[in-house]
Structure 1
Amino acid sequence: MIDLDQVRRLNIQDGDLLVVPENTEQEGMELLAEALHFLMPGCRVIIVRGPMKQLDVGDMNKLGWYRA
């Protein structure tokens, strides 16, 4: 059963990065992707398991990631 008090509206847009809890199973991520495709055909999003942190250019360079 869905706890309707926990339902929130999301304003997802093309190109968004969606971070789901790190314990989310692959099947749940696939179902989310299918639902988004059904609701917003052509909308492209990236779904990743969290936690996520933003790196600055210096940190990315230390990890071997370089801008072209």
Structure 2
Amino acid sequence: MIDFKAVKKLRVQDGDLLVVPESTKQDDMQLLAEAIQLMNGARAVIVRGPIKRLDTAAMNELGWYRA
């Protein structure tokens, strides 16, 4: 269920990174992505938080490589 008191206005642009609470369900993340696409044609990366900054070596260790 959505806590409407926690809803904030967002101006999501193509390529933005959105961090949602760790408790967010995968289906809800999918619905959010679809709504963003319908509203303004943007595609955003949605991740469950909290997130932390990783250096290049740590990302490579996790299998993330720059293109």
Moved over 6 A (4+): none
TM-score (norm: length of structure 2): 0.71
Look up the match of 2:52: 53
**Residue segments in structure 1 that go unaligned for 5+ positions in a row:** none
Q: What SS does structure 2 have at the residue aligned with 1:47?
A: strand
Instruction: From the CA coordinates, give the structure whose radius of gyration is larger.
Output: 1
**Residue segments in structure 2 that go unaligned for 5+ positions in a row:** none
RMSD: 2.4
Q: Quote the sequence identity (%).
A: 52
Change (3 A) 1:7 1:50: closer
The count of residues paired between Structure 1 and Structure 2 equals 65
Residues 20-39 of structure 1 aligned to structure 2 (within 5 Å):
20-39=20-39
Larger deviation, residues 45-54 vs 7-16 = 7-16
